[in-house]
């Protein structure tokens, strides 16, 4: 199944993921350069927050798009799938 949302939403997600990719490369460089632990931890926290933001956007699009359509079609398969996924989040 493809992502829900518009092409503009997908473009925004890809841009955010590429920015995060750059942050992760910077994080690897920090480790290679033996930067202070607290600086590395701050960067890890930043990357984690950025990924959480992408997750929030994708799940919102999924709820408004795929799940809304699934409910209208009286098909609970996607809802069950989402509930299973949410149950695995730590």
Range 13-28 average pLDDT:
97
Domain layout of the chain by residue ranges:
7-87
From CA 78, how far away is CA 66, in angstroms rounded? Answer: 8
pLDDT score of 77 more than 60: yes
Q: Could you tell me the CA-to-CA distances from 64 to 2, 3, 25, 51, 59 in Å, in that order? A: 14, 12, 33, 20, 9
Structure tokens of 80? 């069950």
Mean of the per-residue pLDDT values for the chain?
92
Range 8-28 average pLDDT:
94
Ramachandran bin of 83, using left for φ above 0, alpha for ψ from -120 to 50, beta for the remaining angles: alpha
pLDDT level of residue 7 (50, 70, 90 thresholds): confident
pLDDT score of 88 more than 60: yes
Q: Can you give the pTM of this predicted structure?
A: 0.82
Pick the CATH number of 7-87 from 2.60.40.420, 3.90.850.10, 1.10.3720.10, 1.20.58.1000: 1.20.58.1000
pLDDT score of 1 more than 60: no
């Amino acid at each position: 199944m493809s992502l829900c949302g518009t092409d503009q939403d997908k473009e925004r997600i890809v841009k955010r993921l590429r920015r995060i990719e750059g942050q992760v490369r910077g994080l690897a460089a920090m480790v290679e350069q033996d930067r202070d632990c607290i600086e590395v931890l701050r960067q890890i926290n930043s990357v984690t927050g950025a990924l959480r933001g992408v997750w929030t956007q994708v799940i919102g699009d999924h709820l408004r798009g795929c799940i809304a359509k699934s409910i209208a079609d009286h098909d609970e398969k996607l809802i069950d799938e989402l509930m299973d996924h949410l149950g695995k989040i730590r």
